[in-house]
Amino acid sequence: GAAQGSGAMGGSASLIPRDLLSEYQELTFLSKQEILLAYKRFSELLPKEERENACSARVPKSQLLTLPELRANPFQHRICHVFSTSETEDDSVSFEDFLDMLSVFSDSATSDIKSYYAFRIFDFDNDGTLDRKDLEQLVNCLTGQGEGSRLSSAEMEQLIQNILEESDIDKDGTINLAEFQHVVSRSPDF
C-alpha cells in the first residue's frame, strides 16, 4: 500500500509539462507547490479514466461544489459561473479555470484582482454594473435564505440606500467597477 501510494504521488507531478508549470507560475499568484497540489486536487474531482488527461478535462459544477472552500460559500454558484470558460455555459471548469480561481482566492493575490473578481461575482445579471437587484441578491446571499435571517423589505431598502450612498459616486443608481474598487480600497477587510 504505502510504497505504491507515494509512487503515484511522485508520478502526478510530472503530468504537468515543465514549460506549462512555469507558465502557470507566471500567470497566477501561486507557487510551484500550490500548482502541483491544485493539479492533484483537480484530478481527484475527475472520474478515474479522465485523470490521465486532467490538463484537458473539465470538472462539472456539481463536482466542484463538493470542495470545502465552495461547499460553504454563499456565492458558490456565481463563483463557478465567473471562473468557468465553458462554451456551453454549464459552469464546468478546466484545470486553468481552477487555477485562476485558486489564484484569486490566494493570500498572494492583489486587492485589485480580488475586488475585480468580487465585482464580477456580485454582478448577478452580468451587465457590468451592480444595480439594486444585484445588491438585493448580494444581501440575500450574505444573510442566508432562512426565514428567520431574511431582512424585511424596509430593512433591505434602507441597506441598499446606504450602500448606494456610500459607493455610487456619480449618483446613477448603480455601482460600477471603479466605484466598487474605490470603496474596497478604503475598507481593506471588505
Residue 40 domain-assigned (yes or no): yes
Domain end marker among 105, 137, 167: 105
91 and 38 belong to one structural domain:
yes
Tell me the residue range of the domain where 158 lies: 111-186
Q: Which residues of 97-110 are buried (b: 16+ CB within 10 A; e: fewer)?
A: bbbbbbbbeeeebe
Per-residue pLDDT tens digits for 56-65: 999 999 999 9
Domain end marker among 56, 85, 105: 105
30 and 50 belong to one structural domain:
yes
190 residues of the chain, pLDDT tens digit each: 444 444 444 444 457 889 999 999 999 999 999 999 999 999 999 999 999 999 999 999 999 999 999 999 999 999 999 999 999 999 999 999 999 999 999 999 999 999 999 999 999 999 999 999 999 999 999 887 667 778 899 999 999 999 999 999 999 999 999 999 999 888 766 5
What's the CATH code of the domain at 73?
1.10.238.10
Residue 131 domain-assigned (yes or no): yes
54 and 119 belong to one structural domain:
no
